[in-house]
Amino acid sequence: MAVGARSGHDGPEKRAGGAFGDDTAGGDVTGDEQAQPPGGGAPGGGAPGEGDDEAVRGPGRPPKKQRSFWKELPLLVGIALVLALLIKTFLVQAFSIPSESMMNTLQKGDRVLVDKLTPWFGSEPERGEVVVFHDPGGWLEGQETPKPNVVQKFLSFIGLMPSAEEKDLIKRVIAVGGDTVSCKEGGKVVLNGVALDESAYLAPGAVPCQDSFGPIKVPKDRIWVMGDNRQNSLDSRFHQQLPGGGTVSNDEVVGRAVVVAWPVTRWATLPVPDVFDQPALDKAMAAAPAGAAGLAGALPLVLWRRKKRAARHTAE
């Protein structure tokens, strides 16, 4: 005979543990229902943990439903757009090459990735780097520029497309603040008295300069830039009549181009050529201030000797 199969009119039944009382549900409770299953299962034969979940959400409440994918999609898209905007603003940005001025290093239509992070930590342009910079004023005057539509402008703004900004240029840094640069027609570019061998990156058949210029002393915090395709590049050489004398302020530099990202068949990094790693370039630049300081120090001595000699002749 089953335990607990008694009429509700009989006397109170002593439960396991010695407690007397009525069933909260108003029904009979068997010894099996009262016993705790091995392993900590919930009373009543439920699956382990089921009673705990009910205690958390409250008795009688249905389980929380998972959000629909279509409801979460706008949130995911919004997060992706914000991340893309932050990356484009502070880390890296894609730019499209609009001309042949940097051949063969860069072809027209190439997409390059530009490092925008290091300038935030005080990094300045260095010799030999390929940099993107804003038009200093008048460099692109009279040239046709692309006119992107609204969608292209938006995608460019958040960084999902190459920059649609028509006022950006890309060139190679030849000289930085304090350097002296010059070139004679058909000859090599001379930087701080050192003739540069630029054959590693100049376009085939290109001469370092077809017209003479300089010597030009690059002002502090400015750079002198030239394209690798020297016969087809309107660079610093052709803007010496503008404010800055053809040089570009470091503040106008967006960042350094580090990778050709598209097309995949042309994927390549853009390192600094070895010719710009010559210690002689820095020695020559340091020699100029030292020489000037020596001249300034010798000048009073020369004047004193001349004055003493003049006094001697007067006495005689």
Please state, in angstroms and as integers, the Cα–Cα distance from residue 46 to each residue in 40, 50, 73, 242, 316, following that order: 11, 6, 36, 85, 128
Alpha helices by DSSP H, listed for the chain, are: 31-34, 50-57, 69-90, 150-158, 279-315
By residue count, the chain amounts to 316
Number of H helices, E strands in the chain: 5, 12
Residue 171 annotated in active site: yes
Rounded to 5 degrees, what are φ and ψ at 29? -120, 120
CA angle at 307 for the pair 306 and 312, rounded to the nearest 5°:
95
Candidate list 96, 156, 171, 233, residue with the active-site label: 171
Catalytic residue check, 101: yes
| Helix, strand, or coil (residue 253) | strand
Catalytic residue, chosen from 88, 96, 101, 236, is 101
For residue 232, what are the contacts with CB-CB under 8 A and spacing of at least 6? 99, 100, 101, 103
Instruction: List the catalytic residues.
Output: 101, 171
